Amino acid sequence: MMNLNPVLTIALPLILAFTKIMYRRIANLFLIVGSLINIFVVVFLKEGQYLMGGYRPPFGIILQVDTYALYSLLVLNVLFAALMLLVTKKAENLTSSSLIALAALNGLILTGDLFNLFVFLEIATIAALILVSSIKKYHQAFNYMVAGAIGSTFYLLGLGLLYKQYGTLNMARMHELMAASPSGSAVAVILIFIGLAVEIKLMPFSSWAAGVLKNADEWIGPMIGAIYGGVMMIVVGRLFTDIFVMDAKVRLMLSLLTLITLVGGEAAAFQSRKVREVLLYSGVAQAGLEALLILNGYPAIGFILVLSNMTAKYVMFLLAGYMAEEAGGDDFDRLTGVFRSNPVHGFAFTVAGLSLAGLPLFFGFIVKLNLLYNLMLSHSYWLPALILSASLVEGIYMLRMILGLWRLPEGHRGGLQVRILGSSHRRKYAVYTISMVLSLALILFGLAPDNALSIARRARGADTDGKPLVLITMKGGIGQ
């Protein structure tokens, strides 16, 4: 077996992005080849810690590949490559930005250093800004930029305070020191959480997401709504379970923020009458739920929820973007019956939606069932009650939307005659294949969930000897 260095998943897209300036003609080829090579590299990755520049861990920067990073990378790179295959035409002018976004997202998942994380966060944000500006809503993009800048300022402020107190930037070393003396780090941890809350769209800081995603096309929607949101949540999962040690008060404070998001997001989604708005607010609510689980000690289920939601939202945003483009808008009224003429898309959309809402037979259901079971076992009742009612609301509006899109409009015979992607055959079948494969994957995992759950447990260290790699193979340190 080959043993590839994970830095290649960052370095190769960067090289392609830098050289692309000189070869403008074959930009698309660069993009597709780059994202496919990345999948190949990820498949051959081995777990372990990889040093940069040959300097020992707490001093040099490291990349860490553990089960958590490995599966996150796999999902990220597959979804990214699929998206790039679909939207090559639109991505033509933004090849370099897309490649750099891919490198930064890989870096966010891999890095084992808190300041390096900040650098990748900034690259990812600026890349996202440029991608977002392709939908030509510049003042919304400007709002996103301001929110992102405030977020990263808070992150760096918190990081500075942590450095002042613990004198290190390495994640594993930080965890050791924090576990030894957690006093006084609360302010820094809260600042960092607020900084990341902008990116994962928690409620008081998520107004930018509404502006950007309301107008998202089939490219920006999956990219910002699903891939970016998912990766940022994976980062939060890493930081707030493996690295930071919080006391109960801080945990409660941050949990309140996520609860507000969960309730507010579901309410906003319930009121909305537009497909993309429903999706985006349900995404916000789901982000609240995921962060709630991560903060309150259910990281394994949180992880699996992040990945499944990422896939489901990806499919839905993709199809919603195409529908809005073909029908010239995404009101429910305008799109009534659109799936009658596009049954395959309808099927994929339905599966993803039902899985997102957590209905039986789909992957989301298994996740939520597991979650409720675990919560009941640990004798906490307010959390399951809240999650159940949120799921109920989500199920209602999701079903309402999906049924509306299948139902025959009054006065029409054969349904709305909008063909999603009637123009190009090749792209039509590509959309068919990708959305079908992903939604079938959701069903498949829904029918046989044991594997996924055990992987998630291994990744998040619920079993005794399955601790995340970042904490067990810590080498070096000041004393050694």
Partner 1 sequence: MKKIFVLGLMLLLVIGIYQLAVYDPLHERTMAFEDRDSQAYLDRSVNGDPGEVVFGKSTNLEDGAANTVAAIVVDYRSFDTLGEVTVLFISSLGVAFLSGGFGKTIRLKHKPGFVLRYGARFVFGIILVFGAYMFLHGHITPGGGFPGGAIIAASALVLSLAGEISGEKMKAFKILEGAAGTLYVLTGIVGLYMAGFFMQNVLPSGIVGHLFSAGIMPLIYLLIGLKVGSELTGILDYFLREEVES
Partner 2 sequence: MMELLSLSLLFLGIYGLVTKHHILKMIVSLNVMETGLNLFITTLGYQEGQIAPILSSQFPSSALNFVDPLPQSLVLTSIVIGVGTTAVALAYAIKIFKDHGCLDLEKIEGRL
Helix residue ranges, H only, 87-228: 95-110, 114-132, 138-166, 171-180, 186-199, 207-213, 220
**Residue 187 lies near partner 2 (rule: CB under 8 A):** no
In the bound state with partner 1, the residue whose beta carbon lies nearer, of 96 and 342, is 96
In the bound state with partner 1, the residue whose beta carbon lies nearer, of 60 and 395, is 60
Task: Please choose which of partner 2, partner 1, none residue 145 contacts, taking the beta carbon within 5 to 8 angstroms, the exact cut-off set by kind.
Answer: partner 2
What residues between 112 and 131 interact with partner 1 by CB under 8 A?
115-116, 119-120, 122-123, 126-127, 129-130
CB of 216 vs partner 1, minimal distance in Å:
18
- Interface mask toward partner 2 for 87-116; x: CB under 8 A: ----------------------------x-
Q: How far apart are CA 306 and CA 183, in angstroms?
A: 31
3-state secondary structure of 45: strand
Q: How far apart are CA 302 and CA 293, in angstroms?
A: 6
3-state secondary structure of 63: strand
For residue 316, the number of C-alpha atoms closer than 13 Å in the C-beta half-sphere is 31
**Residue 161 lies near partner 1 (rule: CB under 8 A):** yes
| Near partner 1 by CB under 8 A: residue from 58, 230, 364, 461 | 58
**Residue 386 lies near partner 2 (rule: CB under 8 A):** no
**Residue 441 lies near partner 1 (rule: CB under 8 A):** no
Interface segment toward partner 2; rule CB under 8 A; list 127-135, 328-336, 359-367, 378-386: 127-135
Q: How far apart are CA 62 and CA 53, in angstroms?
A: 9
Q: How far apart are CA 120 and CA 348, in angstroms?
A: 33
**Residue 479 lies near partner 1 (rule: CB under 8 A):** no
Of 273, 427, 408, 423, the C-alpha closest to 341 is 408
Helix residue ranges, H only, 226-362: 229-237, 248-271, 275-295, 299-327, 332-335, 343-357
Q: How far apart are CA 292 and CA 262, in angstroms?
A: 9
In the bound state with partner 2, the residue whose beta carbon lies nearer, of 191 and 295, is 191
The amino acid occupying position 76 is L
CB of 96 vs partner 1, minimal distance in Å:
5
Provide the 8-state DSSP code for 65: E
| Near partner 2 by CB under 8 A: residue from 72, 97, 98, 133 | 133
Structure tokens at 428: 């039509």
| Near partner 2 by CB under 8 A: residue from 29, 74, 157, 453 | 157
Instruction: Encode burial over 148-185: b for 16+ CB neighbours within 10 A, e otherwise.
Output: beebbebbbbbbebbeebbebbbbbbbbbbbeeeeeeb
CB of 238 vs partner 2, minimal distance in Å:
21
| Near partner 2 by CB under 8 A: residue from 2, 22, 54, 139 | 139
Helix residue ranges, H only, 328-377: 332-335, 343-357, 363-377
| Near partner 2 by CB under 8 A: residue from 50, 142, 406, 432 | 142
Q: How far apart are CA 338 and CA 334, in angstroms?
A: 9
In the bound state with partner 1, the residue whose beta carbon lies nearer, of 122 and 325, is 122
**Residue in the block written with tokens 């594997």:** 451
Binding site for partner 2 (CB under 8 A): 115, 119, 122, 126, 129-130, 133, 138-139, 141-143, 145-146, 149-150, 153, 156-157, 160, 163-164, 169
- Interacting residue ranges for partner 1, rule: CB under 8 A: 5, 7, 11, 14-15, 17-22, 50-56, 58-61, 93-94, 96-97, 100, 103-104, 107, 115-116, 119-120, 122-123, 126-127, 129-130, 133, 157, 161, 163-170, 173, 183-184, 186-188, 191, 478
